[in-house]
Amino acid sequence: MDQKDQILGTINAMVTSFHEGDIDGIMRTYEEGAVVVGQPGIPVTGRAALEAMFAGFIAARARFTFDGHEVIQAGDIAVHLTPWRMTGVGPDGQPVEGRGLSVAVLRRQPDGRWLMVIDDPYGDSIAHVAAAKDHT
C-alpha cells in the first residue's frame, strides 16, 4: 500500500467510524492533542471536548459524501483536501444539510500509521467571508 492509500485509509476509517457511531474509532484516527474545527472559526481540542463534539454529530445522524480527494505529501506530513456534503437531522427532527472543503493535516507516526493533527472541515469558510465583504 502506498503512502497516499495509507492517508486515505485514515480518512476512510474516521468516516466509517463516524457513520457507525464509534467515537473511540474516530479518536483513533487523530493524534493526541489534535485540533478539529467543529464550527467555522471554532477549533476544539482535548479528548473530552472532541468526544462531545463528535457525539453531537453522531446524534444528528450526519452522513458524509465526498467529491474526490487530493493528497499532498512532504515527508512525514500530508495535507488531505476534499469537498464534502453532509445530511442529517436537526434537534427539531428536521433535515439538515451542509457542505464545505475539508482540509486535514496528517503526520506519519513512528509505527507508520498516518493520524490527523489538524482537521478543518470548513477550510473554505474564509473564502465565504471574503466574498461577503466584496458584496458590501
- Taking only the tens place, the pLDDT of each residue in 35-88 is 999 888 899 999 999 999 999 989 888 899 999 999 999 999 999 999 999 999
Q: How far is CA 3 from CA 11, 108, 116, 133, in A?
A: 13, 9, 14, 40
Give yes or no for a contact between 69 and 81, defined as CB atoms under 8 angstroms apart.
Answer: yes
The whole-angstrom separation of Cα 53 and Cα 57 is: 7
Give yes or no for a contact between 121 and 18, defined as CB atoms under 8 angstroms apart.
Answer: no
Is the pLDDT confidence value at 91 over 90? no
- Please report the pLDDT score of residue 135 as a whole number: 63
The whole-angstrom separation of Cα 1 and Cα 8 is: 11
Residue with the three cell numbers 469537498: 83
Q: What is the CATH number of domain 3-134?
A: 3.10.450.50
Is the pLDDT confidence value at 132 over 70? no
- Please report the pLDDT score of residue 90 as a whole number: 85
**What's the pTM?**
0.89
Under the banding of pLDDT at 50, 70 and 90, the label for residue 125 is: confident
Supply angle C-alpha 24, 70, 65, rounded to 5: 55
How many residues are listed for the chain in this entry? Answer: 136
